Structure 1
């Protein structure tokens, strides 16, 4: 090697080494700066949330990110308002637009989607203990900002000074014992970590000291409890931050924020903490239409609502919740508003007929429904075809044959005589010979012609036209999912119409119901509707609503009842495996007459509202007829008892006794139920000797009574004459 070459090479090596050191030093300083900024901003978020400790929340700082060896979660808040997975972002120049978040020109949405994914996995973990989906929230806090409250997909983006209010406004959704269960699981799921990995270079240089990590143990302060016995108002303690650190909010501001949360209307426990099996059903994914069934009181409607909220959070597009009962959608909307206010605007509630009308209106198809003209058309058709015929007997009233036309022929979408000639009339006990069927078919044709001559349609026509319109022109993804409550009450054509909105898409159609509670004629099978739920069914088998005494009393009415289930089998009804609650035995009274029954009913209402914890709004007075509703309403009002008819009840809490028909009470529950117009013979007469028509009527009547009685949570009173 020529002289001087070795020195030149050494000089080059030392210069390269120096350059490497300088590069490593720059990277180390930048990394240390990021840690320093993160440490400072995370501590500021902790200070902002610290006042929550005074209201029963637990703050878990710097926990392990499940599934990651190095990543950490800035803060997990566990308390009465649910679970909040909080990540602080020291981002400047932030823009949020159309579910995207930009940092300057850089799209950083995926950073937040990682947080959303963690919240989703946490939701699944906590479903194992029964926390309802939707009670876990992903929150991104923008350091140094205030007046920010946006959404990027499932992630709530708020300012540093806004995060306290976000959590406090959730109010008391979990009871203290439930908070303890959730906290225990979160402490395990979000494990403790030590200091973060040291910052190092590729060269053998001394490592930089790791940033200080706050204590990972939760901040635990007893929850506030109002002194009801003394009648004192709430007192919100002064907020306390970490030792030696002034709170981010001033005392008065924090007090106001916490008080707002403490006074928020509580959500019933059954809305937010489910049985683990129920919570899993809510989140379960089915590769096509699915069915959720179970006996009365097993929480089917609540599970259906949670599922609608879950699908609205995790899918693009609107979710439709529908049912046959016209007034029930308004009640369900109010329930979801309390249960999942964050997604209620992405869920539509409409009865089946209202849904059909929307479909036809959007397609420009004109439908005219006129009750008087419909009745006149039926009367004219009966006079032309059926009066004095083989089907016009004392034992078979016109109503029976009207049901046959509306529910069996039109409800099952029959358009040809040969379809009806040998049709298995599921759910109808009266056997029809060929001659009788021929007269019924002629009655249907005459009725249809009378409707056309008058330029009107009936409600079955409205459904059939909407179903045909969907087949002609499928919707352009109007709904991402349809949840059907009380599915057993629908006709075949109704289900075909709803299926047409989503088809066999994954999680597209969820049918919720119980065949034992079928109170309308015209049975059919899902196969007939072109729907299969094979391998996609779930049975709920724990009765949470009724006491054992109430359920035992009601079940005696239907213990021998057989019905044609929509899946094609003859069933006897699901029996709950567990009925955890007990209570007083139901009261059955025989009255001397109608006046005596009304007097005793008023007395019973006055007795139950005198009990601790029961108000007028907790009482339901149910009748099998509109006349019974009118009589009960008049008697209660004469006695000065506040009343609201179930036809006007929209689910908003009101301290009035709710009076209505059993059909209007489907999907509802009350602490105390009074059933006011059965006859004693309905309980005592045996079906022996009854003809097929009377036997069928008896079965529907007893099912209706069963539905009425199982609306009762704590007490049941039945009066007959």
Structure 2
């Protein structure tokens, strides 16, 4: 490695940072006051604020991480630097190309077999934001050696939130990231394969490629819980994307959820409930008990009962419930106008609207097609056994109906304490009443744990858009966890979505992954055993101890002498005792935990999606026994370590691990 070359590259980095500062200063100098009116000024001000935020320099991350020296023969620049965002000099010449630009694709995809017009690829090594090394890969047909810089970046210890992986995206990951916006992609990814990072980087890529369209229609990241969202929160801002919403299914569908028996939630989450809800809503539409009489001046107009019944029958089931009420009023008014015309009058649209708003028409519409809220319908369904039986028909057994009925019905919809499963039912009803707006793109992580009704709710939000669905069938921990991605896509309303699989891990050492994979025949027999590129010899320690709490404290003290983050994962019920044993040396994962906490105590139920350099797993049998799919939960927590895993147990290990 030449010092002269390194100094030249450092000089280009310094010049690029200066150019980025100049771009930001120029954006800050712009004023929204030039816009003609208040609304335009506010819109322009918001766009400028977004532009300024996107041009922020992160001094602890490299501005560029690669370089392409192109072969002669095209009009592109000979040298192209690839980084997190586009940077140009005062004359508009590019100094760094955004990794999402088409020309940058060769950085991830070029190979000796297909150099894609590239003669040499250079990777850069960094410490913080300082360039420390470079590594050249000539694409002249000779086989490439394993990149040392690439491996070091993948294995680099981590603390705090998740980092982006733009410098280490692999060819199969890049293919997924760059899929077209119209394509819904479902990624089955074993632990450590980077599926979450792929989903986030696809969102960033789509925003870059379809900026105007997605700015209007929106992009949302949906994660399993707030701890997960906090962990991934820095990735998109580091890539210059600051306008993407990040939420959980619970928050998206209505906020706090009341606890509920999993058996009840499983029935409510079943796809059959969609038809039960549809029937329950339309059961509120009644036959008219009398005709309509409208008086205008000295004239009286009657619409007979049979004609009203025909109008209701024609509308029922052909429109959403809410618009149907308005259409019924207009159809009734039209029937009155027909009679007016027969008497020689010449009514216009204004007369029809006036009749539709008249008291007799409103009273009839309220009697035949009453105004309803989702809460009113679901409250009645879960409170009234006879109504539930009528709506359920052949779709729910008597035992299932009995299970979901409230034991002590709430007095009114307003006083009801809705569960997470109820929130999905309310959302279904809301869409039956009024159409749910669709967004441009959803990224749905840990999708294997969503119920069919929750998937339907998310599907409505990408009805005219697309989705990136991420998950691992082996990590399904809910009683309704998916067994097939094909079924997930059907519930999502995207049956034509592509299903791709990532089986090669880059983060979890092979020794740890192999130990966890002993559980696969019991939890997901159809999945292939994942592979890891990191041997990780010595990364796994399994110890039987007489006192688990004492062993945890001692293990954490030893790990504090090593670099990297430490996660102590245990069954939820054991967390308070472990926190007491560790005292001030650890914080329990949650909103109160300091951002710079080196040691975090993690309840097993919220560990999904998180990673730590070192994991101390406490009493695996307690985790396996805590819930119906406890072995799947255990598989999740066994695969959270990226450097070392220490398993401490006093009880016997669960059967598949005992060998």
Q: TM-score, structure 2 length as denominator?
A: 0.58
Are positions 1:281 and 2:176 aligned together?
Answer: yes
Q: How does 1:374-413 map to 2 (within 5 A)?
A: 402-412=261-271
User: SS of the residue aligned with 2:507?
Assistant: coil
**Aligned-residue offset at 1:314:** 2.1
Structure 1 match to 2:569: 622
Task: Write the distance in 2 (CA, Å) between the matches of 1:327 and 1:268.
Answer: 15
- Work out whether residues 84 and 99 of structure 2, in 8 Å CA contact, stay in contact via their aligned partners in 1: no
Are positions 1:414 and 2:273 aligned together?
Answer: yes
**Aligned-residue offset at 1:491:** 1.2
- Work out whether residues 174 and 272 of structure 1, in 8 Å CA contact, stay in contact via their aligned partners in 2: no
Task: Write the distance in 1 (CA, Å) between the matches of 2:268 and 2:162.
Answer: 44
Task: Write the distance in 1 (CA, Å) between the matches of 2:18 and 2:161.
Answer: 17
Task: Write the distance in 2 (CA, Å) between the matches of 1:60 and 1:547.
Answer: 29
- Work out whether residues 440 and 464 of structure 2, in 8 Å CA contact, stay in contact via their aligned partners in 1: no
Structure 2 match to 1:648: 591
Task: Write the distance in 2 (CA, Å) between the matches of 1:577 and 1:47.
Answer: 37
Q: How does 1:631-710 map to 2 (within 5 A)?
A: 631-637=577-583, 640-641=584-585, 643-648=586-591, 653-679=595-621, 700-710=629-639
Q: How does 1:50-199 map to 2 (within 5 A)?
A: 67-68=74-75, 73=77, 78=81, 86=88, 89=91, 120-128=101-109, 172=129, 176-177=133-134, 180-181=136-137
Aligned match of 1:581 in 535, 547, 572? 535
Aligned match of 1:711 in 640, 645, 658? 640
User: SS of the residue aligned with 1:708?
Assistant: helix
- Work out whether residues 459 and 494 of structure 2, in 8 Å CA contact, stay in contact via their aligned partners in 1: no
Task: Write the distance in 2 (CA, Å) between the matches of 1:117 and 1:311.
Answer: 13
Cα deviation digits, residues 304-360 of structure 1 (max 9, x gap):
11112112222232310012223322222123333x1x11x22111111111228xx
Aligned match of 1:521 in 479, 492, 499? 479
User: SS of the residue aligned with 1:349?
Assistant: strand
**Aligned-residue offset at 1:503:** 1.2
User: SS of the residue aligned with 2:187?
Assistant: strand
Are positions 1:547 and 2:513 aligned together?
Answer: no
Aligned match of 1:605 in 543, 546, 556? 556
**Aligned-residue offset at 1:719:** 1.8
User: SS of the residue aligned with 1:346?
Assistant: coil
Aligned match of 1:460 in 413, 421, 424? 421
- Work out whether residues 332 and 349 of structure 1, in 8 Å CA contact, stay in contact via their aligned partners in 2: no
Structure 2 match to 1:327: 227
User: SS of the residue aligned with 2:493?
Assistant: coil
Task: Write the distance in 1 (CA, Å) between the matches of 2:183 and 2:68.
Answer: 41
Task: Write the distance in 2 (CA, Å) between the matches of 1:560 and 1:119.
Answer: 41
**Aligned-residue offset at 1:413:** 5.6
User: SS of the residue aligned with 1:679?
Assistant: helix
**Aligned-residue offset at 1:418:** 12
Cα deviation digits, residues 90-114 of structure 1 (max 9, x gap):
8xxxxxxxxxxxxxxxxxxxx99xx
User: SS of the residue aligned with 1:659?
Assistant: strand
Structure 1 match to 2:15: 49
User: SS of the residue aligned with 1:538?
Assistant: strand
- Work out whether residues 221 and 247 of structure 2, in 8 Å CA contact, stay in contact via their aligned partners in 1: yes
C-alpha change, 1:464 and 1:417, in structure 2 (3 Å) is closer
**Aligned-residue offset at 1:456:** 3.2
User: SS of the residue aligned with 1:502?
Assistant: coil
**Aligned-residue offset at 1:414:** 1.3
Are positions 1:572 and 2:526 aligned together?
Answer: yes
C-alpha change, 1:496 and 1:269, in structure 2 (3 Å) is closer
Are positions 1:510 and 2:465 aligned together?
Answer: no
User: SS of the residue aligned with 1:357?
Assistant: coil
Structure 2 match to 1:496: 456
User: SS of the residue aligned with 1:511?
Assistant: strand
Cα deviation digits, residues 571-601 of structure 1 (max 9, x gap):
5324224433323152222233xxx110011
Are positions 1:481 and 2:441 aligned together?
Answer: yes
User: SS of the residue aligned with 1:297?
Assistant: coil
**Aligned-residue offset at 1:280:** 2.0
**Aligned-residue offset at 1:673:** 0.7
**Aligned-residue offset at 1:703:** 1.3
- Work out whether residues 58 and 77 of structure 1, in 8 Å CA contact, stay in contact via their aligned partners in 2: no
- Work out whether residues 270 and 451 of structure 2, in 8 Å CA contact, stay in contact via their aligned partners in 1: yes
Cα deviation digits, residues 500-535 of structure 1 (max 9, x gap):
112153xx2110000100001124533651534546
C-alpha change, 1:709 and 1:174, in structure 2 (3 Å) is farther
Task: Write the distance in 1 (CA, Å) between the matches of 2:649 and 2:13.
Answer: 64
Task: Write the distance in 1 (CA, Å) between the matches of 2:533 and 2:556.
Answer: 26
Structure 1 match to 2:311: none
Structure 2 match to 1:309: 204
**Aligned-residue offset at 1:124:** 1.8
Number of residue pairs matched?
442
**Aligned-residue offset at 1:712:** 0.9
Task: Write the distance in 1 (CA, Å) between the matches of 2:458 and 2:592.
Answer: 26
Larger Rg: 1
User: SS of the residue aligned with 2:609?
Assistant: coil
Q: TM-score, structure 1 length as denominator?
A: 0.53
- Work out whether residues 447 and 470 of structure 2, in 8 Å CA contact, stay in contact via their aligned partners in 1: yes
Task: Write the distance in 2 (CA, Å) between the matches of 1:271 and 1:470.
Answer: 39
- Work out whether residues 484 and 511 of structure 1, in 8 Å CA contact, stay in contact via their aligned partners in 2: yes
Structure 1 match to 2:333: none
Structure 1's unaligned 5+ residue stretches are 1-44, 91-110, 131-168, 189-222, 224-264, 359-368, 376-401, 421-433, 563-570, 683-693
- Work out whether residues 268 and 425 of structure 2, in 8 Å CA contact, stay in contact via their aligned partners in 1: no
Task: Write the distance in 2 (CA, Å) between the matches of 1:630 and 1:405.
Answer: 29
Task: Write the distance in 2 (CA, Å) between the matches of 1:461 and 1:62.
Answer: 57
- Work out whether residues 172 and 266 of structure 1, in 8 Å CA contact, stay in contact via their aligned partners in 2: no
User: SS of the residue aligned with 2:101?
Assistant: helix
Structure 2's unaligned 5+ residue stretches are 1-10, 20-61, 112-125, 142-148, 150-159, 280-393, 651-659
Aligned match of 2:403 in 439, 443, 456? 443
C-alpha change, 1:442 and 1:536, in structure 2 (3 Å) is same
C-alpha change, 1:291 and 1:447, in structure 2 (3 Å) is farther
